[in-house]
Structures are given as C-alpha cells and as structure tokens.
Amino acid sequence: MDGTAPARRLDISHRRILALALPMTLSHVTTPLLGLVDATVIGRLGEAHLLGAVALGAVIFDFVFWSFGSLRMATAGLTAQATGAGNRHEVDLTLARAFLVAGATGLLLILLQWPIAAVAFSMAGASQAVTEALSTYFYIRIWAAPFTLANYVILGSTLGRGRTDLGLLLQVAINVANIVFTMTLVLGFGLGIAGAAVGTALAEVLGAGLGILVLRRLGSNPLAVTWHEVLNRAAMLQTLAMNRDIMIRNVALILAFSIFSALGARSGDVTLAANAVLYNMFLIGGYFLDGFATAAETLCGQSIGARDEAGFRRAIRLSLGWSLGFGLGVSGLFLAGGGFFIDFVSTNPDVRSYARDYLVFAALTPFFGAAAFAFDGIYTGATWTRSMRDLMVIAFVIYGAILLAAGTLGNTALWIALLAFLSARGLGQFVLYPRLARKTFARFHQP
C-alpha cells in the first residue's frame, strides 16, 4: 500500500472478533471432509485396497496442496490491507495476480504429475493392488490442481474483506457437491475409485465457479484490470515473495508434524496408535484457534490499510486474548475429560493405557500453541511473511535440537519437542512484533 489515503478508525471489538472467527472455525472443520467423503463412499464397495488407495491419495493431495496454502494467506493479507485503505481497484489487482500465480502453479503440478507420483508412491510403499488403484485416483484428481489453488485464492479474497461467512458458504458448497458427485459416480454409475477422483475434481471446479460469482457480487472484477497493472514488477515480486515465504513456513510445519509421526511409528504400533489418538486433541483445538487467527489476519490487515495504529494494536490484544483464553480453556477440558476421549477413539486396552500416560502433554498443546496461531494471523495480515518464515525456521531448529538432545527419553522427548516447537514460535513472534509494528506505521508519517 502506498499510504496516501487518510487514516480512518475501524470497528475492532470482541463482537467483531467472534463474528469473524466462528464461521471460519466451522469452515476449518469441514476441510477434511473432501478426503473423508471419498473414503466413506469407496469403503461401501468392500474392497480394502480401494479404501487404502483413497486414504493415501487424500494424504498426498493434502500435502501437495497445503504446501501452497500460501495462496490463501498471502491473498488474505494483501486484500485486507487494500480493503482497509478503501482501495477496491487494488483488491482486484491482488485477486488477478493471485489467480495468475495459482493458474501457473496448478499447470506446473499437472506437468510434473509423473515425478510427483513416483516420489509419493515410493514413500507410501503400498502393495501393488493399492498402488494401481492409487495411480488411477491420483492421475485423475491432479487435473483439478488449478481449480483447487484458485479456491485458495478465492477464500483468501473473501477473508481479507472480512466475509468469513462467505468463506464458510463456499467450503460447504464444495463439500456438498463432492458428496453428490462422488456418490452418483461411484454408487450410481459404478465407476469405482475413478468416480471418486472425478467427483472430487468436479467439486473443486464447481467451487471455483461459484467463488467467482460470489466475488462478482462483492463488486470484484479481476478481468477489468490491465495486464500492465497486474504485471507491475514491484507488486508482482511482493506477491511471489510472500507466497515463497509462507510456503517455506508451511513446509517446515509439515516436516515437524511428519517427523513427530515417523519417530512415533519407530517406537512400535502401540506408541504410534496412542500418539495418533492424542494428536487429534491438538487438531481439534487447532480448528478453533485457526478461527481466531483468521480474525486477527483480517482485522490487522485492514487496520494497516486504514493506517489505524490504535486499531491495529487493539486487534492484536483482542485476538491474542481470545486465542490464549480459548487455548487455556480447551487444555483444561482435555485434562479433565481426555480419558473419556481416549476411550471413545480406541478400544485397545494397551493403546488406552499408553495414551493416558501422555495425556497431559497432548492436553497442553492448545494452550502452548495459542500464541503461535494468533500471531500467524497477525503476521499474515500485516504481510510480515519474511519474519514469520524466519521464526518458523528457528523454531524448527529448536525442535530438532531437543529431539537430538533428549532422544533417550523416547516418546516423552517427542511431546516435549512438540510443545517447545509451538511455544517457541509464539514467543519469537511476540518479541519481534513491536519492532515490526513501529516500522510499518512509521512509513505513514514519512513526508
């Protein structure tokens, strides 16, 4: 943003935080449904290898596509700042640049589908029957890559405007379409795993089309901007740099969680199963914390666009307060009722007993991670993506160092390292943000 617009005050309140956070929380909860629907429908066919192929396919695409979740986050941050400044033309330019990056990236994934599949299938190490079915699923669904990434852009654009209700609507529409298409093609037309892949791909295409219609109703028309404006060197480099930084951050996060699972698996089946049960506590807490992160992303970005420093600092206080308060509350609930959760998820007595031994670690993850979630939203809205990337890398190094130093502690070391990883991110972002905020708002006072 150029900062030429006059400063204006925004509505930063507890009510606005909740109005933004709650729809996005529900949206995050629906995200895993794309893979779950495929697994449920295919599971009704009674073929174990087909179910295994769909499960592996969901993991592969979650990894590939989530690595490019930067498209959503970068678009949301830039859109929030343009919205706060009241610059609707810049909103459209941001959207057009993000669509360009999403389209190019999606086409690149299609072109690289064979090496991607070779690496993914090799790492999966599945049986021949599962691999053959997985190939069918993968080589069909990969063609939806440009539309999947476009949906990230559309979601980011709606969130940056503060329309988390529309973000929820779009996610629900994609999931409902996926259910209808997949059930029709698999159970109605008997297309098996190919039908599941086509159904999911069609749902992504339909979601992109619906998303564009929603954006048009909001007044956006990315086709109205000129190529000269879209390809402006400074703006395009900023877009690419933000996506690069967030992508590195996402990959580091994925690696940290993958290492956690892999090292747990080496400790035996009971440890692997118990950690999987307990890890779901972190995921459940994370869905809600993500909602507050989205609220912070929107309000902080819009405050910077509006040059409202007081509003920006209030948005930080409120979003951080809600996130920490919720994280503490959820940790308390898990400590009190975690045993019931373990018994509900697993019936194996050995897994139940082992999971209870580590319940306190898992129960603390929402509280230890609350600041990191909130500051991820704050840093994204403020477009401090380079600092967010660097702090994530530092936290990852700390994570690895603890694993190496405390390796003799076995599974205890894993959980200690995870808690340290979560808290190191939040602490580092807390320490750095005042200097970044001063630098950001100082440019508005320059002649």
- What are the phi and psi torsion angles at 189 (to 5°)? -100, 0
**Which tokens is 103 given?**
């389209």
Q: What is the reported pLDDT for 37?
A: 65
- Start-to-end C-alpha separation, the chain: 15
Q: What would the DSSP string read from start to end of 245-270?
A: HHHHHHHHHHHHHHHHHHHHHHT-HH
Q: What is the reported pLDDT for 409?
A: 81
Q: How many CB atoms lie within 10 A of CB 414?
A: 24
CB 140 within 8 A of CB 182: no
Q: Which of these, 143, 135, 141, lies nearest to 195 by C-alpha position?
A: 141
Looking at residue 312, its amino acid is: F
Most distant CA atoms of the chain, gap in Å: 71
CB 142 within 8 A of CB 113: yes
**Which tokens is 326 given?**
């919720």
Q: What is the reported pLDDT for 1?
A: 47
At 54, is the secondary structure helix, strand, or coil? helix
383: left (phi over 0), alpha (psi -120 to 50) or beta: left
CA distance 101 to 244: 11
CA distance 94 to 173: 24
Q: Which of these, 114, 115, 134, 117, lies nearest to 126 by C-alpha position?
A: 134
Q: How many CB atoms lie within 10 A of CB 223?
A: 10
| Burial of 238 from C-beta contacts in 10 A (0-12 / 13-18 / 19+) | middle
CA distance 138 to 134: 6
Q: Which of these, 181, 189, 185, lies nearest to 206 by C-alpha position?
A: 181
Q: What is the reported pLDDT for 2?
A: 47
Ordered per-residue pLDDT tens for the chain, 447 residues: 444 455 677 889 999 999 999 998 887 766 655 555 666 677 777 677 787 787 788 778 888 888 898 999 999 999 999 999 999 999 999 999 999 999 999 999 999 999 999 998 887 777 788 889 889 999 999 999 999 999 999 999 999 999 999 998 998 899 889 889 988 999 899 898 899 899 999 999 999 999 999 999 999 988 888 999 999 999 999 999 999 999 999 999 988 988 887 787 777 778 878 888 888 888 888 888 999 999 999 999 999 999 999 999 999 999 999 999 999 999 999 999 988 888 887 777 888 898 899 999 999 999 999 999 999 999 999 999 999 999 999 999 999 999 999 877 888 999 999 999 999 999 999 999 999 999 999 887 665
Measured CA angle at 47 (ends 36, 206), to 5 deg: 35
Q: Which of these, 38, 47, 51, 54, lies nearest to 183 by C-alpha position?
A: 38
| Secondary structure letter of residue 364 according to DSSP | H
The half-sphere exposure of 258 on its side-chain side, counting CA atoms within 13 A, is: 11
| Burial of 409 from C-beta contacts in 10 A (0-12 / 13-18 / 19+) | middle
pTM here is 0.90
CB 229 within 8 A of CB 93: yes
Q: What is the reported pLDDT for 56?
A: 80
Measured CA angle at 383 (ends 324, 30), to 5 deg: 55
- Beta carbons within 8 Å of 15's beta carbon, 6+ residues apart: none
Q: What is the reported pLDDT for 3?
A: 43
Alpha helices by DSSP H, listed for 184-308, are 192-217, 227-230, 233-266, 269-305
At 274, is the secondary structure helix, strand, or coil? helix
